[in-house]
Structure 1
Amino acid sequence: MRRRTPRHAPRTSLAGRAVAVTATAVLALTAGLLSPLPPAAADDPPPVADHCGDNCLDILPPGNNGSATLVEILANRALGTQPKHADDQLAPYDALASGYGSLTDDKLSDFFQDASFGVPEDQVASVISPREDVTITRDKKTGVPHIKGTTRYGTEFGAGYAAGQDRLWLIDLFRHVGRGELTPFAGGAEANQGLEQQFWPEAPYTEEDLEAQVAYIRDHGGERGRQAMADAQAYIDGLNAYRVKAKKSRTFPGEYVLTGKIGAVTNIGEIEPFKLTDLIALASVVGGLFGNGGGGEVEAALSLLAAQQKYGVAKGTEIWEGFRGREDPETVLTVTDGTSFPYAGKPERARGQALPDKGSVTREQVVYDRTGSAAQKNPAKDPVKAPAELKPLQGMYDDGVLPADLFSSDRGMSNALVVSGEHTASGHPVAVFGPQTGYFAPQLLMMQELQGPGISARGVSFAGVGMYVQLGRGQDYSWSATSAGQDITDTYAVELCSPDGSAPGKDAVHYRFRGECLPMEKLEKTNAWKPSLADSTAKGSYRLQVYRTKLGIVTHRATVDGTPVAYTQLRSTYGHEADSIIGFQMLNDPGQVTDVASFQEAAQHINYAFNWFYADSRDTAYYNSGGNPVRAEGVDAALPVRGEPEYEWQGYDPATHTSDQTPPAEHPQSVNQDYYISWNNKQAKGYSAANFSHGAVHRGDLLDGRVKKLVETGSVTRASLTRAMAEAGVTDLRGEQVLPELLKLLGGGDSPETTKAVQQLRAWQAAGSQRNQSAAGSKTYAHSDAVRIMDAWWPKLVRASFEPGLGEELYTALTGELTVDETPSAGHGPTGSHAGSAFQNGWWGYVDKDLRRVLGEPVEGGPGVAYCGDGDREACRKVLLTTLAEAAATPAEEVYPGDDTCEAGDQWCADSIVQRAVGGLTHKNIQWQNRPTYQQVVEFPSHR
C-alpha cells in the first residue's frame, strides 16, 4: 500500500446526528456571529481510513485548474499553450470513446484518475497553509486540492481559499448571473443579455430575499442549519482571503483585465468582496440549471387545445394524453420491482383547470427601455484603445461569456449504472456514475477533498458553493445523482382585478388572492454596460421587469372563459434554493452516513429534483429527492389551474414560500435491487414525468439492455460496467432501437439509390449503430454514409409520417412540446451545437409505436392511432422510401453545416464536443460521447 501524507478523521457525531463543532464555534453561533474565528492550531487527529484502497477512480475534463493570468491567456491564444492542470484530464476522457473495447480493471487508470484520500508523499506538488489550522496539498498529476483542517472553521476557510485559486473568475461570473447582473459585469453581448432575460425572471430576488434565505436556514434548520451558515461564512472568508492576495500579488485571473475591471499596467480596480448572499444567488443558478422540474403548463394547454380542435374534446384529449405519455407501460424504469409511487398523475376527474381561450395567450414582457447597443440586433463596434500586446484579445467576448442557451436547454447526460454485490466478481457492489453539467472551460464543477471535524469526503462541488462535496465519496461509501425533473412547479391562473371595481384588462397589475384585490409586486433591474477589451460592443442599457404575486411570477396573460387572468409560475424551491445545503452537509459527515438508511435520510434533506445513487462494500440504494408539493385533490399538475384557495398547494404559506410536501416514503426508492440504471428516464411506476419524453424508446434503454445482460451473465467488474456505459455513450439510439422496425417495414429499396441506402443502414445496424471513429484518431466515422443518411432521414420521416394525420397546427404544437430529434450535432435539437448530450428528447418512441401498429405488432399505450400512411402498410412504406431517397441525396454539407469550429460537411467535427469557453482559455474539441462530465468508477472492498 502506498504511504500517504497524514489525513485527519472527523469527530464522531453526537447521537449519530449532531454536528461536532469547537467550543469557540458554538459560542459564535450562540451569539449569532458569522465573522471569522482566529486561527487555531491543534494536534493532528489520527489518519482517516480509506476503505476504497485503489478501487475509486474519477475524471473531470478539461482539468482542475480553471484560472489563468493575463500572460497565460495571451500565450494560450497566441501559442496554444495551457497552464498546468488546465486540460490534463481532457485526453484520457476523450480516449475512452475509442479505447473502451479492450478495457480491463488494470487499464481503468488510463482513462480515469485515482480518487483515493490523501496524496502519496512522492506525489505532493505543493503544500500551503492560508491559516494555521488548515493545509491545502496539491498532487503532481492533477493539481486537485486536498484540504485538511484541524478545526471546522479552518477546513471551510481552506475550501473557500482553494476555490478562489481554481475558479475565482467563474465564481464571480455566476454570482452576477444569479443576481441578473451579467451584462454590467461581463458586457452587453447579445448572448449575455439573453441569459439575463432567461434566468432573472425565474429567480428575481432582491437583496432582502437573499438575506431571508440565509435567515431561514439558520433559524429553521436546527443545529445543522446554524452550522451550515457558519461553514458558508468560513468558505466566503477563505474566498475573500484569496481574492485579496491575488489582487495584491497580481496573480488574479486575466479576465478581470480583459473586461475592464482592473488595469493591466496600473493594477487599479477592484474584485468586489464576496458575501454570504452571493452563495444564495449561486445556489439559485445551480438549482435552476439542474434541480428543477415541471413548468410549461401554458404551452401544454395550448397543445391540448390544438388536439381538441382537431379531434373534438373527448377524442382530442385521449390523443393528447397518448402523446403526453404520463404512464407509458413500455418505458424504461429505474425501480423495476413493480413498486408504485403515485405522484402528479392524471386525476380521474380534474378540478379547477384553467385552459386559455383560443388566441388569447400573450407572453409577459420582460425587457423595457432599450438604449444604445441594447436596441440593436448587431450593435456597432465602439473601438477601445489597448496596448499592442492585448489587441489580439479584443472582441473575444463579443458573442458573450456564456452560451446563450445555458438555461433554455435541457440538461441531460447524467447517468448511473449500479450493480449489487450478488452479481459482481468480487461480491461487492460496483458503480459507474456521474452528473452531466455541460462542457465548459473551466468546468462548472471543481474537484476537492475535504477532511476536518465532521467532514470527510472527496469529489466535486459546483464552483462557489463548495462548502461540501456534492457528488463523490466518503470513507467507505460513494454517491452520485442524475437530474430527475419530476413536477415541482405549477402554473396558476390568477384573476385580474381593479381596485375601484371596474372591469380589468389583460394588462392589469392587480389580482385576486383569497378574496382580496392585491397589487402585484413589480421587481425591476436596470443594467448598463460599456465597451471593454474583450467585449467591444457599444455601450447600452435596458430594464428588466417582472411582476410577482403570492402565487408566483407572472409568465403569461390570457383570458379564461372571457375573464382576464395572469398565469403565474410557482415552484416549491422558490426562496429555498439553498435549503439543500443541510442534505449535502449530512452526506459529507461520516458520523451521519454509515449505511443505506442514513444515506437516504441525508438525501431526503435535498429539495432539488434529483435521483440519488449509493454504493458501499455491502449495499446499493436509490432515492429520489425533491420538494414535491401536496396538491389539492383533483388538480392536474400537467395543466394550468385556477388561482383560488381550494386549488392551492396544501398548507401553502406565501409569506415563507412553504407548503406541505409528500413524505419520504412516497418518493421512489429502493435498496439492493439487482441493478439500477438512470439516464434521466422515468423513476418508477406511477411517478409522472413533467415532460413528454418518457416513452416506449428512451435513452435509458441503451443502458438497461447492456447492464441487464451483464447481470444475467454474472461476475460484473468495474471494467465491464464501464464498457457498458461507454458503448451506450457512442450508440445512436434511433439506430439501435427504431431502425430494426424501419428496416422490417422497408424490406428493400425501390430504386438503386434507396436499395443502396437500405444496405448501408442494415450494415450499420448490424455493427451496433455506433457513431464512433473508424480507428482511434481518424476523425472519420465507420459507416459514415449510414450515419449521414439517418441524420438527414429522421426529421423528414417524422414529419411525413405524422403531419398529414395530425395537421400542421397540432403537429407544430406537439413538436414544440417534444423536439423531433436530438442528434449530437444538434442541427435541429435544443441543446446547442457541440454540447455532447444527445437522444435525451425526441420522437423515437412515437415512431417506434407507430411502426409497430402499422406492422400489426403488439403496442401498449401511446396515441392509439397509426399515422404513417394512415396506418396502411404499403402507404407507410412509400412514405419511408420517399423520404429515404431525399435523405440519401442530401449532401454532408447540408446535413452538417459549417460553424466557428467546423467546416461544412465535416461529420466527426459536427458531432464533436467543445469545451465552451467562459474564461480566457480555449481547449481542443474531442470526439463525441454521450457521457457524464464528472464520472466515478467505484468498488469498496471493506466497510467501517
Structure 2
Amino acid sequence: MPRRTPRNALDRMRTPRGFHGFLKGASLCALVADLLSPLAPATAADTDAPAASAAPAAADDHCGARCSDILPPGQNGNATLAQILLNQAFGTQPAHAEDQLGPYANLATGYTGLTDEKINTFFNDASFGVPEGQVASTLRPAGRDDVTIVRDKRTGVPHITGTTRYGTEFGAGYAAAQDRLWLMDLFRHVGRGQLTPFAGGAPANQGLEQQFWRSAPYTEAELEAQIESAAAKAGERGKLALADVDAYLDGVNAYIDASDKGRYFPGEYVLTGHKDAITNAGTIAHFERTDLIALASVIGSLFGSGGGGEVANALSLLAAQEKYGVAEGTKVWESFRQRNDPEAVLTQQGGSFPYLTKPDDPRGSALPDPGSVEAEPLVHDRTGSAAASHATGASATAADAALSSARRGMSNALVVSGEHTASGHPVAVFGPQTGYFAPQLLMLQEIQGPGISARGASFAGLSMYVELGRGQDYAWSATTSGQDIIDTYAVELCQDDHHYLYRGRCTPMEKIERKNAWKPTVADGTAAGSYTMRVWRTKYGPVQYRATVDGKKVAYTSLRSSYLHEADSIIGFQMLNDPEYLNGPERFRSAVQNINYTFNWFYADSEHTAYYNSGDNPVRADGVDADFPVRAEAAYEWRDWDPAANTARYTPPAAHPQSVDQDYYVSWNNKQARDYTTAPWGNGSVHRGNLLDDRVKKLVAEGGVTRAALVKAMAEAGLADLRAEDVVPDLLKVIESAPVTDPAAKTAVDRLEAWIAAGGLRTETSAGSKKYTHADAVRTLDAWWPLLVKAAFEPGLGTDLYTAFTRNLPVDESPSAAHGPTGAHAGSAFQYGWWSYVDKDIRSVLGEPVKGPLARAYCGGGDLAACRDTLLTTLKEAAGRTPAQVYPGDENCSAGDQWCADSVIHRTLGGIKHGGISWQNRPTYQQVVEFTSHR
C-alpha cells in the first residue's frame, strides 16, 4: 500500500522521529507563523490562574533557611505546539523549562569558592512556602475552594496547600499534569509495552517497550489487583492511600479536561496525531489506577530491582572452569566476582550483615551445558518498518541509549553527624542520579495538607507524595542499593517447549502477548509497521532463556520479589510525608521498611542521622547459591513462597544494614556493609564510592564541617577521574621502576603526573571555555585504559574467559565512553569498570600487600619488568592516538571534541531540547540540608 501523501506542513510534522526526537529541519520556520495564533497560551498556570498577591502561610519549617535543592533542566515539562516549534526553530524556551540548568551546571566551576552564603547561587531555596513578593501565580484547580496551587517566580515549582485531604491530593494530581502530562502519558504506555502505537515505531520506541514489558508483562487485571492488594495489607493507611490515589487521579483528569477545552495541552499530542491543531479533534485519555501501576513498574525496574544476571554468571564460570579446570577455575571466578571484598568501601561501617554469602556446599545449582544457552525471543511476526533489517538491533541499541543512564547511574549521599559539624547539627548532601532527560523523570513540589507536609522530588505520575525530600524538621533521600531480589530458576520442560514440571506435574506455560501496530512516520521516513511481543510465564516468572542442563531441556525464568507488588511501597512514602508519624530516626526506619524496592535510605534532622537498606530480600533455601541458576524444585524455592501471590519469607528488618548517628555515611552504589552481598560486579578495592569516602573522612577528621564544605567534597568527587586518582599512580610506579628513556612515553608520563598532582580532575580551563586544563593527559588515559586492561589480562585469561568476564563487568566507563553501560552524555561514570582488578593486580606486581587478591597474577605474568613493558607499549600507543580517534564524534559532537564527548546532554522525551553542559558526575536531583531545630 503506498504511503499517504501529507496534506500540508502540519500533517508532515504529526509523527515524530521516536518520542525522543521530535522535530528537525527547515520546515519548522514555515510552521511557526501558521500555528502561533491558534495555540498561543504559554502555560497552563498562566492561563488558569487568577491574580494573587500572596501565598498561603507556610507550614512549620525548622530548616532555618538552610535547606536547598536543584533539579535540572526546569520545572515546566509541558509545552504547547507553538512553544515546541519556537524552541526547535529559534532555541527559545518556555518559562521555567531550563532555569535550573544554568545554576546546576555552574557548580562545576564555581564550587571552589563556595561558602554557605553562596549555596543558593547553585541551588534553589527549599524552604517551605513562597515569600511575599515571589508569588508568580495562584490557582484554585477546577474552581475548588479546598486547595491552592501557588508557583514561585524563580523556578515555577508548585506549592500545593489543601484544607482537606482530598483537595490536597487533587491539587497534587493537577499540578503533576500541568508539569508532566506528556511524560506521564509516555510512561504509562511504556509500562504496558504499548509505546509504539502511541508514539510511533521508531527504533527507540520499540526498544523501550520491549525492555520493560519483558520483565513486567502484566495483564490489566493484574495491574488493578496490585494497588488493591497493597491497600488491603495496610489497614487504615491502605484505605487512605487508595483514597489519595483516587483524588490524585481526579486532579490529573481535571487538568486534561481543562487543557483540552482551553487548547493548551502539550503540543506533542498534535505531533503524534492524537490531537488536531486546527479543529481540536482527538482525545487525551483519562488516567486510571492501572496507569499508576504501569508507571511504577517502569520506575521500579529502573531503580529498585537489584539482582538477576545468574545466566551470565554461569557462562563466565563455565569459561573459567574450561580454562583452568573446575577447582582452579572456580577460584579464579570467585576472585573476579568479589562478593565480599575486604577492601571494599562500606556505607555501614560497623557490624556484619550476612546476606547471600557463598555456601560451603552449594545445592540445587543448574548450570547450563556448554553452548546450549539461547535467549528467549520476545518479538514475533514483524511487518512493515518493524521487519526492516535494522529493526531488531537498532531498537535495542536505541533503547539503551535512551534510558540506560537512568538504570545504571544511580545516586549518591554524603551525611555527617552533628558531632563533626561547625553548627553541631547534622549536614547532608544527597540525591538520586536518575539520568538527564527533557522533561525530567522527576518533578519538584511542595505538598501541605491534612497528614502531609513535605517538599521535594517525585516521579512524574506518582507524585501523590514527595518521594525524596524534606519534612518540617527532617530530610531523607535514597541511593540504589542493588542487593539481589531476583533469582533465575531452571524449569525442566515436559511434553513440548511450552510445558514445564511444576512440583512434579507437567504444567502449561501462560502465553502473554502484545500486538502493536503504528502509523507511518512521514517526518523521518519510518513507515507503518507492527509486531507481536510474546512472553511465556511460569509460576517461577517469565522465561528469559532456553538451555539444557545435564542434557535435559530447561527454560530459565526470572523471579523478582517485587513482581506483582509494584504498589506495595506506597505506604512507606505515605509515612515519610506524615509529620504526625515521622518524628525521629526510629520512625524513619519503620517507614522505609515498608518500601519493597532495593534502596539505601538516609535521614537527617537537627539532632540525628540514620541509614537503612530496604527491599524484600527473599530467604533462600539452605545451601542455594543465588549467584547462579537454581533448579525449579520445591527444595530450592524461596522459603514460604506462595506462587499465586508471589510472596515469601523475607529477611527481617534487623538483618538489613542500618544504623543511627554513625560519624558519617557515604553511598555511591558501593557495598552496603560487611558480608552483605550485592548483585553488581566490581565492589572491590577501587570504587567510585572511594571518591566520596576519602574526602568526607578527611573533613570529619578535621572537624567543623559546613554545608559548603560538604557540597565542595561532592562536587570535587563529581569531577574526579577515578582511574587517575586511585589506579594510575600505581601504574606509573611500575613504569618508573626503571628509567623511561623513550621520548614519547616520557612525555605521556610527565603529562599524567602533572594532571594527578593537580588532582586528576576533568575540569575546564575556565568557566565556559569548553577545553580541559589537562586535555592531553585526559585523552591519553581515555585511550590507554582499555588498551592496558586488555594487554594485561587477556594473555593470562585467554580470549574466551576475558570476553566472558567483560560481559559480567565492562572494562571502562569514562564520561565519554559511549560503548559503556551508561552510554554517551549520561553524566554518570566510573560505576562499572575493571578498576579493582587492575589495582589489585598491579599492587601484587609491585610486591605490596593486597587483601582479597586475584587468584593469579596477570600483568606480565606477575613479573615487574614484563608488566612494565606491557604498560609502556600500550601507553605509547595511546599517546599516539589523535583526539579524533579517541573521541570519534556522534550526532551531538564533532570528531575530536573532547569536552563535547564528555558533556551531559538531556535526552529529549518531548519536543523541547536543551544544550549540553560540562561533565559532572553527581545526582540529578540534589538536596543540601541542615536543620536548626526539632519539634
Aligned length: 875
User: How far 1:377 sits from its partner (Å)?
Assistant: 3.3
Residue 372 of structure 2 aligns to which amino acid in structure 1?
S
Aligned to 2:671: 682
Equivalence map 1:563-582=2 (5 Å): 563-582=552-571
Structure 2 residue aligned with 1:485: 482
Query: Does the C-alpha gap of structure 1 residues 49 and 221 become closer, same or farther in structure 2, counting only changes over 3 Å?
Result: same
CA contact (8 A) 1:547 1:554 kept: yes
User: How far did residue 399 of structure 1 move?
Assistant: 12
Q: Which amino acid aligns with 1:702?
A: L
Q: Verify: 1:749 aligned to 2:740, yes or no.
A: yes
Q: Does 1:698 align with 2:687?
A: yes
Q: Map 1:88-237; keep pairs closer than 5 Å.
A: 88-130=99-141, 131-237=144-250
Instruction: Confirm whether residue 634 of structure 1 aligns to residue 634 of structure 2.
Output: no
SS at match of 2:569: helix
Q: Give the letter aligned to residue 358 of structure 2.
A: K
Matched, 1:300 2:313: yes
Residues 186 and 403 of structure 1: CA distance in aligned 2, closer, same or farther (over 3 Å): farther
User: For residue 367 of structure 1, what is the aligned residue in structure 2?
Assistant: 379
Answer yes or no: is 1:457 the counterpart of 2:454. yes
State the alpha-carbon separation in 2 of the partners of residues 413 and 209 from structure 1.
29
Aligned to 1:354: 366
> Are residues 1:924 and 2:915 paired?
yes
| Paired letter, 2:709 | S
Measure the CA separation in 1 of the matches of 2:785 and 2:397. 33
Corresponding position of 1:476 = 473
CA distance in 1, matches of 2:423, 2:312: 51
In structure 1, C-alpha distance between the alignment counterparts of 2:402 and 2:636, rounded to whole Å: 34
The structure-2 alpha-carbon separation of the partners of 1:45 and 1:454, relative to structure 1 and needing over 3 Å to count, comes to farther
Query: CA distance change for structure 1 residues 120 and 915 in 2, over 3 Å: closer, same or farther?
Result: same
User: Which secondary structure state, in structure 1, belongs to the residue aligned with residue 567 of structure 2?
Assistant: helix
Q: Counterpart amino acid of 2:466?
A: V
Check the 8 A contact 2:196/2:518 in 1, yes or no: yes
- For residues 399 and 368 of structure 1, do their structure 2 counterparts lie closer, same or farther at Cα, with a shift above 3 Å needed? closer
| Contact 2:304 2:598 survives alignment (8 Å) | yes
CA deviation string 1:241-288 (max 9, x = no partner): 000110111100000000111111111111011101000000000000
Structure 2 CA distance for partners of 1:262 and 1:829, relative to 1, 3 Å: same
For residues 96 and 406 of structure 1, the distance between their equivalents in structure 2, rounded to whole angstroms, comes to 25
Structure 1 residues 373 and 408 mapped into 2: Cα distance closer, same or farther (>3 Å)?
farther
Distance 1:240 1:534 in 2: 31
Report what 2:43 is aligned to: none
SS state at 2:729 partner:
helix
Q: Residues 681-724 of structure 1, C-alpha deviation per residue, up to 9 Å, x if partnerless? A: 00000100102110110000000000000000000000000000
Unaligned residue ranges in structure 2 (runs of 5+): 1-54
Alpha-carbon spacing, 1:105–1:539, altered in 2? closer, same or farther (3 Å): same
Letter in 2 for 1:102: G
From 585, 603, 608, the counterpart of 1:619: 608
**In 2, Cα distance between the equivalents of 1:127 and 1:865?**
67
The equivalent of 1:911 in structure 2 is: 902
What's the secondary structure of 2:568's corresponding residue?
helix
**Which residue in the other structure is 2:818 paired with?**
827
Q: Is the 8 A contact 2:173 2:252 kept in 1?
A: yes
Match for residue 97 of structure 2 among 86, 90, 111: 86
State how far apart, in whole Å, the 1-side matches of 2:97 and 2:57 are.
34
Letter paired with 2:280: N
Deviations 1:431-464 (A, max 9, x none): 0000011000110000000001110000000000
Contact 1:258-1:533 within 8 A present in 2 as well: no
Q: Measure how far apart 1:233 and its partner are.
A: 1.0
| Counterpart selection for 2:751 from 756, 760, 771 | 760
Is 2:352 the counterpart of 1:340?
yes
Matched, 1:287 2:284: no
Task: Name the SS for the 1:406 alignment partner.
Answer: helix
1:326-382 CA-to-partner distances (Å, cap 9, x unmatched) read: 010001000112x00000111111100000000111110110000000000358xxx
Task: Name the SS for the 2:133 alignment partner.
Answer: helix
1:817 aligned to 2:808?
yes
Equivalent-residue separation in structure 2 for 1:761 and 1:518 (angstroms): 62
Q: Deviations over 1:816-872 (max 9, x none)?
A: 000000000123311111011100010010000000010010011132211000000
Query: How far did 1:911 drift?
Result: 0.2
Are 2:516 and 1:527 equivalent residues in the alignment?
Answer: yes
Matched, 1:50 2:61: yes
Residue deviations 1:631-660 (CA, integer Å, cap 9, x gap): 100111110110000000001001111111
Superposition deviation, residue 534 in structure 1? 5.6
Match of 1:848 among 829, 834, 839: 839
Equivalent residue letter for 2:185: D
Separation (CA, whole Å) in 2 of partners of 1:46 and 1:126: 15
How much identity, in percent, do the aligned residues show? Answer: 67
**Over residues 576-618 of structure 1, what are the superposed CA-to-partner deviations in whole Å (9 max), with x where a residue is unaligned?**
0111010000000011110000000001000010000000000
Does the 8 Å CA contact 2:422/2:704 hold for their aligned counterparts?
yes
Distance 1:830 1:421 in 2: 38
- The whole-number CA distance in structure 2 between the counterparts of 1:305 and 1:73 is 53
Amino acid at match of 2:355: Y
Aligned amino acid, residue 778 of structure 1? S
State which drifts further: 213-222 or 638-647.
213-222
CA contact (8 A) 1:195 1:404 kept: no
Aligned partner of 1:871 in structure 2 is 862
Match of 2:83 in 1: 72
Q: Matches of 2:71 and 2:184 in 1, distance apart? A: 18
Tell me the TM-score normalised to structure 1 length. 0.91
- 2:819 aligned with 1:806, yes or no? no
2-structure distance, mates of 1:872, 1:693: 25
Q: CA deviation at 1:226?
A: 1.5
Give 1:838's aligned amino acid: A
Indicate whether 1:494 and 2:491 are aligned.
yes
* Contact persistence 1:555–1:569 (CA under 8 A): yes
| Cα deviation 1:555-587 (Å, max 9, x = unaligned) | 001111111111000000000011101000000
**Could you say what secondary structure the match of 1:800 adopts?**
helix
Provide the rounded CA distance (Å) in 2 between the counterparts of 1:673 and 1:802. 39
Contact 1:94 1:926 in 2 (8 A): yes
Report the equivalent of 1:673.
662
Give yes or no for contact 1:523–1:546 (8 Å, CA) kept in 2: yes
Q: How does 1:31-46 map to 2 (within 5 A)?
A: none
Aligned counterpart, 2:74: 63
Structure 1 partner of 2:42:
none
Q: Offset at 1:202? A: 0.4
Determine if contact 1:288/1:407 at 8 Å carries over to the other structure. Answer: no
The Cα shift of 1:53 comes to 1.9
Letter in 2 for 1:57: S
Contact 2:59 2:129 in 1 (8 A): no
8 Å contact from structure 2 (residues 203, 399) kept in 1: no
Q: What amino acid is the match of 1:427?
A: G
Q: Partner residue of 2:445?
A: 448
The alignment partner of 1:730 has SS state of coil
CA contact (8 A) 1:186 1:401 kept: no
Amino acid in structure 2 at the alignment position of 1:805: G
Amino acid aligned to 2:815: P
Runs of 4+ deviating beyond 3 Å = 44-47, 397-405, 407-410, 532-536
Shift of 1:775: 1.0
- Does structure 1 retain, via aligned residues, the 8 Å contact 2:348–2:665? yes
SS of the aligned residue for 1:370 comes to strand
Gaps of 5+ in 1: 1-43, 380-396, 499-503
Mark the CA change 1:410 to 1:166 in structure 2 (over 3 Å): closer, same or farther: closer
Indicate which of 642, 645, 662 corresponds to 2:651.
662
